Chains A and B, each alone.
Chain A
């Protein structure tokens, strides 16, 4: 029963977050000075020499319809919400007409999920592993060195790593490709190799930056846990070091780290966004950027809404899994 209460309150928050996010995405552009339809019309008019007034008017109407700009603001809002929620239809991409935005997003999503998922998992695992070691052996020299390195790495922003890696491995030692432009239609071994080769630098960049935070937080956590009474007692019972670490220290330190992971989802996504842009990696991030650069209204709204949805869902999943891992939460 308690779990149902927990579940329903989390679901409520989840739905509210997504709705609020979609609302923000909907309204922000409308408070901005530029009108995308006018600017598109302006572009078209400057390209073609003649266009009579009736044609321009017809074009304007069509564009407005496609953008969902017909009617009052309220009508537009509800129309938009209805469309998106029930049919996930963001309309056609305006720069790649008539390809639906949905399709573009579906193509790019696997890239992002792969890159983000794998690099987050790797940096979480490595970071926590190093942190665990450094915290338990806090008096050894290498523990302090590891922590020191993490302190130097953690504050460095994502893009600096990306830029540095690009400088090093694409300019100075041209090992990896500068940007990931490739066409991977079809599931061949060649294509897979290309994909992996192109993903190495962005993944490396994300992993390097991500690990720092996990190392630092885990070191403090494991150092404190190691000094807890129940760990001392476990040693007093004569358990060997390996059992003490794996059964007593590790489970008690991993749990807060899982909660932390849920909270960090937004930040991690931000970082991957910039990384994708800088490496020209064909994921959701680059799509957002492309949409923005080309003022592709529908694409922008679609991709940003998708990213909000993705992060909210990831957070929800972790939140819901947590009671199954931590018995204290379960029985409270």
Chain B
């Protein structure tokens, strides 16, 4: 229902370009939670912005587009450039850091009124809207008292929950969340994730969660896409990726995760990600990869199937599969 077609995006720094996203191509299905994982600076937040069509200078899309399909249709869609009209109604966005995103001088309920007018409730009176919002808050197990409070009176976790309520109230088909749990303590994190999951289960919409925390992905997502240096290098069902990671980078990521009962020495991944102003030709992970061959530094790997709905971009995997075609 949401296509990301060969999207490349970059930041225009006047004297140079930072190629934050490079030829990313995948789809989001209906009724799923999709995670985008990767280390800081790999381009996942930028990708999310492009998906939301929030492309302000200095960010620009250099090629490709995204498409949001209407209902069950295969032909009726809204494309990059026009998504703004659907903001909040069909697609919503929860940005990183809920600390400051609400208007400090109005009550929480007013933050709802604003957006609601955009939706299907244009003809309703304020009282009716207020009732609907209060009812929705109850559904999400949030006290309706919160509505009468000012943002600065709420704790960080509470604000994040209100944000989620805001973002889902109009029942959009797809919700994009950028690091929804960072900057919150662990206990609150669990609450937030539970809330996200229950909303998704109830509304049967799609969610895209960006996080560098693999633990978040493990708990919540159905499918994950792993990004490295602006490219998507592996994508597949969460369980698969965690139990059988195929790309060398993913393997190192997963093995670095602590597991209960596992006493083995953890290795960090040596080296640092490449400079995105002038990224290397060929596989971008090659400089840090212990399996890297000569051709890895020359040819850019394409996504190849490595399992059921499981793809990875690695030349070695391509060769391994080559024989079994």
| A residues lining the B interface (CB < 8 Å) | 228-230, 232-234, 236-239, 243, 247-248, 251-252, 255, 326-328, 331
Contacts of A327 in B (CB 8 A): 105-107, 150
- A-contacting residues, B61-118, CB 8 Å: 84-85, 87-89, 93, 95, 97, 99-107, 114-115, 118
| B32 nearest CB across to chain A (Å) | 23
- Nearest CB to that of B87 among chain A residues? A238
- Given A327-B150, A328-B152, A331-B153, A237 contacting B115 (CB threshold 8 A): yes
- Which B residues touch A326, using CB under 8 A? 105
Which partner residue on chain A sits nearest B57 by CB separation?
Answer: A139
* A243 partner residues in chain B, CB cutoff 8 A: 114
Q: Within 8 Å CB of B252, what residues of A?
A: none
Do A233 and B87 touch across chains, with their CB atoms under 8 A apart?
no
- Determine whether the beta carbon of B106 is less than 8 Å from that of A247: yes
Q: Which residues of B contact A251 (CB under 8 A)?
A: 103, 105-106
B103 contacts A247, C-beta separation under 8 Å: yes
B105 touches A238 (CB 8 A): no
Quick check: A252 and B104 within 8 Å, CB to CB?
yes
Interface secondary structure of B, over-half rule: loop
Q: Are B153 and A229 in contact (CB under 8 A)?
A: no
Known: A229-B97, A237-B88, A238-B84. 15 other contacts (CB 8 A): A229-B95, A230-B104, A232-B95, A233-B95, A233-B101, A233-B102, A234-B103, A237-B114, A237-B118, A237-B166, A238-B88, A243-B114, A327-B106, A328-B104, A328-B152
- In the complex, whether B54 has a CB less than 8 A from a CB of chain A is yes
B150's nearest neighbour on chain A, judged by CB, is A327
CB–CB B95/A236 < 8 A: yes
24 A-B pairs with C-beta separation under 8 A: A229-B95, A229-B100, A230-B100, A230-B103, A232-B95, A233-B95, A233-B101, A233-B102, A234-B103, A236-B95, A237-B115, A237-B118, A238-B85, A238-B115, A243-B114, A251-B105, A252-B105, A255-B105, A326-B105, A327-B105, A327-B107, A328-B104, A328-B105, A331-B150
Q: A236 to B93, Cβ gap below 8 A?
A: yes
In the assembled complex, the Cα of A228 lies from the Cα of B95 at a distance in Å of: 13
Q: In the complex, A243→B111 CA distance in Å? A: 12
| B152 CB contacts on chain A under 8 angstroms | 328, 331
In the complex, what residue of chain B is closest to A236 when comparing beta carbons?
B93
B114–A247 touching, CB < 8 Å? yes
- In the complex, the answer to whether B102 meets A237 with C-beta atoms within 8 Å is no
A247 to B97, CA, bound (A): 22
In angstroms, how far is the closest chain B Cβ from the Cβ of A261? 18
Pair B54/A239 contact, Cβ less than 8 Å: no
Residues of B within 8 A of A255 (CB): 105
* Distance of B169 from chain A, by nearest CB (Å): 11
Name the residue in B102, B103, B115 with the highest tally of chain A Cβ atoms < 10 Å from its Cβ. B103
Q: Which of B52, B101, B150 meets A230, CB within 8 Å?
A: B101
The residue in B104, B107, B152 that gathers the most chain A C-beta atoms within 10 A of its C-beta is B104
Closest Cβ neighbor of A243 among chain B residues = B114
- Minimum CB distance partner of B115 in chain A: A237
Closest Cβ neighbor of A228 among chain B residues? B100
Whether the Cβ atoms of A248 and B153 lie closer than 8 Å is no
**Cβ–Cβ < 8 Å partners of A237 in chain B:** 87-88, 114-115, 118, 166
Which residues from A are CB-within-8-Å of B100?
A: 228-230
Closest to B110 in A: A247
A247 to B87 CA separation, bound complex (whole angstroms): 19
Contact A236 B103 (CB under 8 A): no
For B166, what are the chain A residues with a Cβ–Cβ distance below 8 Å?
237
Separation of A230 and B100 alpha carbons in the complex (Å): 6
CA distance A239 to B85 in the complex (A): 10
Give the distance to chain B from A229, nearest Cβ to Cβ, in Å.
4
- CB proximity of B59 to chain A, nearest CB, Å: 13
Chain B residue at minimal CB-CB distance from A239: B114
A238-B84, A328-B152 given as contacts; is B102 within 8 A of A230 (CB)? yes
Tell me if A236 and B87 are in contact (CB < 8 A): yes
- Asked whether, in the complex, the Cβ of B150 is within 8 Å of the Cβ of A238, the reply is no
Most chain A Cβ neighbours within 10 Å, of B89, B105, B106: B105
Closest to B113 in A: A247
Question: From B152, which residue of chain A is reached at the shortest CB distance?
Answer: A328
Q: Which residues of B contact A228 (CB under 8 A)?
A: 100
